[in-house]
Structure 1
Amino acid sequence: MTGAGATYPYGKDPLDRNIRIAPTFPTLEELEQAIDIFTLCVQLVSIEKLLSEKKVNLLQRHK
């Protein structure tokens, strides 16, 4: 896996949201580690999104 923004010129992804999973031949151990890290990132982003939506809903209720 390449770093976020690696597919953009000079590695600058304007929205900081693009990753590329390159067709390489990692070992099984490296692949398992990459999958673990990737799923943790997806979980983290999902939790952050849910929390921000909950915050918006709470703020709207208190208007």
Structure 2
Amino acid sequence: MESRITELEIKLALSEDHLEELNRTIFRQQQQIDLLQAQIRELYQLMQPTDPTEPRNLRDEIPPHY
């Protein structure tokens, strides 16, 4: 009986360690997602025209190989 309790305690300790490692991984991934979303928002704002009423010049959109 004593060995079974010891074995269960070991399994519980290992499970707690794995759970803590998973929590740290998820936290790091969420930080990365937040950073990427902020970068995408910044890029989106940079791509927006400064004056939305100003007509677009199609010549600016011609690829350089033409």
TM over 0.5: yes
Structure with the bigger percentage of helix: 2
Q: Deviations over 1:19-55 (max 9, x none)?
A: xxxxxxx911110000110000011000010011000
**TM-score normalised by length of structure 1:** 0.56
Higher relative contact order (CA 8 A, sep 6+): 1
- Partner in structure 1 of residue 23 of structure 2: 44
Structure 1 regions of 5+ residues with no counterpart?
1-25
**TM-score normalised by length of structure 2:** 0.54
Q: Percent identity?
A: 16
RMSD: 1.5
Q: Which amino acid aligns with 1:49?
A: R
Aligned length: 38
Structure 2 regions of 5+ residues with no counterpart?
43-66
- State the 4+ residue runs in structure 1 displaced beyond 4 angstroms: none
Larger radius of gyration: 2
CA distance in 2, matches of 1:62, 1:29: 49
